[in-house]
Amino acid sequence: MRKVPIALIFSRLAIGIALVPLSILHVRHYKVVAIVLLSVGLLTDIFDGIIARKYQVSTQTLRRLDSGIDQIFFVLVAIATYLQCPEFFKSNATKLIILLGTEALTYIISYVKFKKEIATHTIGAKIWTLLLFGTLVQIILQCQSTFLFEIFFWMGIITRMEIIAIIITLKEWTNDVPTFYHSIKLRQGKQIKRNKMFNG
């Protein structure tokens, strides 16, 4: 069971890679296939951490790998979705560029300060991931998203800003920081309470 978290993480990468050619080939019932694979990918993202914490193998290396694969997975899903619905992405290009820019900024600040990528796994970021999932499902089905996309966009900006604030506040690189409040406590040298199910 100790190897299951790594298997789940790499299975998510495999799903993301598979979606792109499936989109290019316009396979039959692509929408159904894509949503099923996206859902499986999301479940692997949820359970890899839960299992790792249960069997006490949730190391910094594993958490960094998890964060990196998450980024690649959703980029690949976005590419596959773009191939199906290019007009949506073109009409929302400005907001998507802003969102990607703030995401990139979190990594830049983390690398400058700690020489490592982020792996904060905040509560806000987890909520945002669910919004990302819902938005992608809606786009896959309808090639459009209005109200949900707006919520997803603004929640993305807010959660990226929180992550930046956390990075700036922390004295040393730390994974699994639930909120900005917790980063303040860590800076003060205090212990923080993490949810055993979701934050180590």
Q: Kindly state whether residues 157 and 104 are assigned to the same domain.
A: yes
Q: Kindly state whether residues 129 and 154 are assigned to the same domain.
A: yes
Domain contains 79:
yes
Average model confidence (pLDDT) across the chain = 93
Q: Kindly state whether residues 73 and 53 are assigned to the same domain.
A: yes
CA triplet 14, 20, 26: central angle to 5 degrees? Answer: 130
Cβ within 8 Å of residue 171, ≥6 positions away: 186, 187
Give the pLDDT of the chain (200 residues) as one tens digit per residue: 778 999 999 999 999 999 999 999 999 999 999 999 999 999 999 898 888 888 888 888 888 999 999 999 999 999 999 999 999 999 999 999 999 999 999 999 999 999 999 899 999 999 999 999 999 999 999 999 999 999 999 999 999 999 999 999 999 999 999 999 999 999 999 988 876 666 55
3-20 pLDDT tens trace: 899 999 999 999 999 999
Q: Kindly state whether residues 104 and 154 are assigned to the same domain.
A: yes
104-126 pLDDT tens trace: 999 999 999 999 998 999 999 99
**Maximum Cα–Cα distance for the chain, whole Å?**
56
Domain contains 59:
yes
Q: Kindly state whether residues 164 and 133 are assigned to the same domain.
A: yes
Q: Measure the CA–CA gap between 72 and 13, rounded to whole angstroms.
A: 7
Q: Distances in Å between the alpha carbon of 183 and those of 62, 168, 192?
A: 21, 9, 9
Q: Kindly state whether residues 108 and 168 are assigned to the same domain.
A: yes
Q: Kindly state whether residues 55 and 128 are assigned to the same domain.
A: no
Q: Kindly state whether residues 26 and 42 are assigned to the same domain.
A: yes
Q: Kindly state whether residues 76 and 21 are assigned to the same domain.
A: yes
Domain contains 39:
yes
What's the structural domain count of the chain? Answer: 2
What secondary structure letter does DSSP report for 58?
A: -
Q: Domain of 116?
A: 86-194
Q: Kindly state whether residues 141 and 190 are assigned to the same domain.
A: yes
Q: Kindly state whether residues 47 and 110 are assigned to the same domain.
A: no
At 191, is the secondary structure helix, strand, or coil? Answer: coil
Quick check: 23 and 30 in contact, CB under 8 A?
Answer: yes
Give backbone dihedrals phi and psi of 122, rounded to 5 degrees, phi first.
-70, 160
- pTM more than 0.85: yes
Alpha helices, DSSP H only, in the chain? 4-24, 30-54, 60-84, 86-91, 93-114, 123-142, 147-169, 180-187
Q: Measure the CA–CA gap between 118 and 64, rounded to whole angstroms.
A: 7
Q: Kindly state whether residues 67 and 21 are assigned to the same domain.
A: yes
